[in-house]
Every structure is written in C-alpha cells, then in structure tokens.
Amino acid sequence: MGADGHGLKQWIGDLATSAPGPLFSALRRPTIGGLIQFIGTEAGSPDELRTWSAELIAQLSFELWLHGCLDDTIRLPSVPNRLLSLTQEVAVTIPSHVTEIEFGRDVLTLISGAETRTISMADRQDDLWERPFHSLDAGIVLSLMDNNPRSDVEAHPEKPGNAVDLGEHSVDAWQTAIREALSMIQEHLPEIYGEIELVIQQVIPVGYDDERHMSASFQEVVGTVYMSLHPDPMTLAEALVHEFSHNKLNMLCTLAPVMENAFSPLYSSPLRPDLRPLHGVLLAVHAFLPVERLYEKMALSDHPLSRSPRFEKRWQAIRTINHAGAETVLEHGRAMGQGAGLFEEIAHWDAYFATLRSA
C-alpha cells in the first residue's frame, strides 16, 4: 500500500483472504469500526476525510502488525497521536516531533527527519508502550484513551462533551463500581448480560458526580459506552443497560431505517425539555423498557436495594416515562422494515408493565 493510502481497498481485500480472522477482529473494534462509519457518513471537508482516513490506516496497521499479519513494510506519512489496540489492550504514544511511522515485520520505526527510533513488538518495556485499558467483566475494558473523532459532540444540552476523565477517582474504584453493576445485570437480566458480552467492548470514563449521572453512546461507534461514575450501583446498572440498548438499536438503524418519519416532525419527549424527533423518543423507550424489566426482576427477587422508597419512586418514574414515550412512538411513528417488529415489542412490554403496575 502506498504512503498516501492508495490501494487501501485492495490491501484490505487481500487481507480478507490471507488473514481473515485478525482482519475482522480488528474491524469490529470501535477504535477502527468507528472511524470507518464516520468516514462513510460524517466526514465533512476533504481535510477531515484525509485526517480520518490516515487515522484509520494507522490504527488498522497497528492491530494487524501486532497480530504478525503484515508481510510488507508499510510507511505512513501521516501520524496519529497514539496507536490503540483493543485486541491486545496496549497503546503506543507517538512523540509530537515524529513525522512518519513505518511498520516492519517485528519493529515499528518512528521517523523524524534523519533520526529514527525503533519499537520492538516483542519487547514492550519501552516507555512509549502504554496500557490504558483496564479489565472489567463481560470482556469489557475501562479505556483511558479514545480516538472517537466526534467525542466532543453532545446531544444533551447540559453535558459538555465526553472527554476522558476519571473524576479524581482511581481505576480500582471504577472497576469495582462497574463490576458490581454488571453483576446485578447478570443476576437479574441474564439474557441482556449475554448480549452485553457480545456488543459492548469499552467504557470511557467521563467524570464523577454524586448527584447527576451522565452517559452517552454514538451510532457510529458501536461497542463503546461513555459514562460517569456514581455512588449508587443501581444508577450505574441502569446506565449500562440503557447505553447497551442504544448500541443495539443503533446497529439495527445502521442496517436500515425503522421509521419513515424518524427525524421530522418533532415531538415532545418524556425525557428532554426540548422537542425531539421520533427517533430520539424511540431510543429512549427502547432503552428504558429493559431498565424497567431490571427493576421488576430485582423487586421479585427481593433484592436489598428494592426495599427502599427511592427504588420504588424511581421505578414508578421509569414506568411513567416509558408509557408516555411508547404512546408517542406508537401513535405517530410510521414503521418500516424491521421497525414493525420493534413497534410490536414496545406495545407488548408497555401493556405488560401497565398491567403489572396496576395489579
């Protein structure tokens, strides 16, 4: 492949034949798949397209280099700030003075004019190697590096983007809290937990607040959840189920539209002060219905958290949100394709919970 990226399609096509396992393992990672989605749907200016394409080539080359799948030397004249590998949970930070990088069979060469520096694939004691990924459960990692080019874009008017931030808490504290939340999901929603294992690959920390909780996901970056830390394990369990559900619906909507009138006109939302397209209301209902199921299952098992007035109050609030959102979607939405089955499921669970709460 040329230094300018020509032959990328041919290169990937050849890899699909010679190294399909490592290639598709890399492509499913949000650090790479997200870039592909952004290039296909979001790239604006030619400069932006070139920047993201160069980032994609570098990240994919790094993953395949670590797998030993690069038979030819690849030299790249456009250098990202860091190279990330979710498959091996390592990263290499590129010094700012480096102008080119070259992937050889066993070494990565950093080039700055006449000066070069090599990094061994086998010996990872070099200070440029980092381990920003910290294991959680269900095959998920807590990621302290993020290459989402749109991470600062925020749909919630009260939230200032999604910059990586531990919120003055340790990695251990984050791991303990998220593992507890995942354990609650595994116990009470085992089917959802199994799907989380398949889909979610990384949690990006975005700060701490002991009152409000913030979370986010992007349709383009399937497998990634952004969330803040919170002292209440129920709040974190809610957020994980909620954002996973967004990931699942995002995948479906990427394949094909589910509503004819998804983005126009606008309607009131049970969750937001501003008017929202029906797609946004659908996202909310689709995410909160499994959360409501979590509350039901925890109450049925007499979980200690379910005995508090706060639990009951929150459960009732979620029921109100879900019913209002379901009514809006089912009354105004014009389903298409897979949307018909989705609407049927929403109607089923809305009726089920209405009966449950009135019993």
The stretches of 135-277 forming alpha helices (DSSP H) are 171-188, 190-199, 233-255
- The 10s digit of each residue's pLDDT in 140-197 is 999 999 999 888 876 555 556 799 999 999 999 999 999 999 999 999 999 999 999 9
Give 11-35 pLDDT, tens digit per residue. Answer: 788 888 888 999 999 999 999 999 9
Q: Which residues contact 55 (CB under 8 A, 6 or more apart)?
A: 35, 78, 80, 147, 149
State whether residue 73 is helix, strand or coil. coil
Single pTM value for the model: 0.92
Could you tell me which residue, 353 or 159, shows the higher pLDDT? 353
**pLDDT tens per residue, range 290-347:** 999 999 999 999 999 999 999 999 999 999 999 999 999 999 999 999 999 999 999 9
Domain boundaries, the chain: 8-131, 132-239, 256-359
CA separation for the pair 338, 340 (Å, rounded): 5
pLDDT at residue 338, rounded to an integer: 94
| Tens-digit pLDDT profile for residues 87-99 | 999 999 999 999 9
Q: What are phi and psi of 272, to 5 degrees?
A: -125, 145
Above pLDDT 90, what percent of the chain?
A: 77
Q: What is the structure's pLDDT at 8?
A: 67
If phi > 0 it is left, if psi is from -120 to 50 it is alpha, else beta; for residue 97 that is alpha
pLDDT at 1 over 70: no
What is the rounded average pLDDT for all residues in the chain? Answer: 92
Q: How many Cβ atoms sit within 10 Å of the Cβ of residue 45?
A: 8
Run of H or E residues at 130: strand 129-130
